[in-house]
Amino acid sequence: TQELTEERLRVRTEFYQAQCTAHPTNSLHQIHLAWCLLETNNPDAALRLFEQIQHTDLTTPWSLITYLGHGEAQQSLRRFQPALTLFQQAVAEINPQMMTTLSEELNGLDIPTLDGILLPKRILNRARTLARSMNSTKIIQDCESIAKKTGISLDN
């Protein structure tokens, strides 16, 4: 099973590298490739891609995915303040209205790390956990407030 998983990741990485070469302005290909790089423990390369992506070109769900991946890449490199800032930007985009259409908009996502998860929940948990370790009570409160408004149960 491990070999198949690694082969799938290798093929996905090669596919999105080719897509990025063929379509260098397509942000969705960059996002997919950056997540592939994160999944292969290459946060430096993922970070370079995430830093190039313009959020103004993205729908809210894709912007959330990008903030999350960018923050996770920063956190992997032990850059906690930039990671927290990125998670905080993602938290600011979460609202109750998006919850009903979010899964439809992310249909066929093709990012195995995010399969079967509720994206806002992962973002809120990441932000809250990092904020707790950095004693940032405002961000903790923001996460808990949004969780309450959206009906998301946060992990303890």
In terms of C-beta density within 10 A (0-12 exposed, 13-18 middle, 19 or more buried), how is residue 144 classed? middle
Q: Is the pLDDT of residue 105 over 90?
A: no
Which two structure tokens, joined as six digits, stand for 6? 């690694």
Contact 71, 77 (CB under 8 A): no
What percentage of the chain exceeds 70 in pLDDT? 99
Distance of CA 95 to the CA centre of its chain: 16
DSSP 1: -
Beta-carbon neighbour count of residue 84 at 10 Å?
21
pLDDT at 109: 82
- The pLDDT of 12-17, averaged and rounded, is 96
pLDDT band at 156 (very low <50, low <70, confident <90, very high): low
Which two structure tokens, joined as six digits, stand for 136? 């940032």
pTM comes to 0.92
Share the mean pLDDT of the chain.
Answer: 92
In terms of C-beta density within 10 A (0-12 exposed, 13-18 middle, 19 or more buried), how is residue 93 classed? middle
Segment among 50-54, 103-107, 147-151 with least mean pLDDT? 103-107
Which two structure tokens, joined as six digits, stand for 110? 């093709």
